[in-house]
Amino acid sequence: MALERTFSIIKPDATNRNLTGAVNAVIEKAGLRIVAQKRIRMTQEQAETFYAVHKERPFFGELVSFMVSAPVVVQVLEGENAIAKYREVMGATNPANAADGTIRKLYALSVGENSVHGSDAPETARIEIAQFFAGNEIAG
């Protein structure tokens, strides 16, 4: 399998608790390379666009408010099978169901404040990376 890229966000609950380095340590220990990274304050519009697939869900408003409530760290991760591998490293959406050693098991506070985002498929990875990074900001 060729090298693949996925999009990651370290969410406000994690940046608020100063866990960027701790999350990155789990990412790097799993063999994923952080090939782009920046700390930003997401705008309401960016968050609504990013999570547009969930706009009919009852938690959409809460999700968008959470994502703009504090800085986030957006990242591009690269590695063999990076999309599926990062989903594994993140753990289940609800930390109560996340496996031991996963980022969400270690650090998430709740299903909403669950510390990290990772793309779920190659097409979404491409779209999500392009929403936040120009090609020349990624150094693989």
Supply the residues annotated as catalytic: 117
Give the separation between CA 108 and CA 96, rounded to whole angstroms: 9
Contact call for residue 120 and ligand DAT (CB under 6 A): yes
Residue 111 in contact with ligand DAT, rule: CB under 6 A: yes
Write down the least CB distance from residue 120 to Mg ion, Å. 5
Find the binding residues for ligand DAT in span 44-103 (CB under 6 A).
Answer: 54, 59, 63, 93
Q: Phi, psi (5° rounding) for residue 28?
A: -70, -35
Nearest to 131 by CA among 40, 60, 2: 40
CB 8 within 8 A of CB 74: yes
* CB-closest chain residue to Mg ion: 120
Of the residues 42, 114, 132, 133, which one makes contact with ligand DAT according to CB under 6 A: 114
Q: Rounded distance, CA 26 to CA 104, Å?
A: 11
Residues forming the site for ligand DAT (CB under 6 A) = 54, 59, 63, 93, 111-112, 114, 117, 120
Residues forming the site for Mg ion (CB under 5 A) = 120
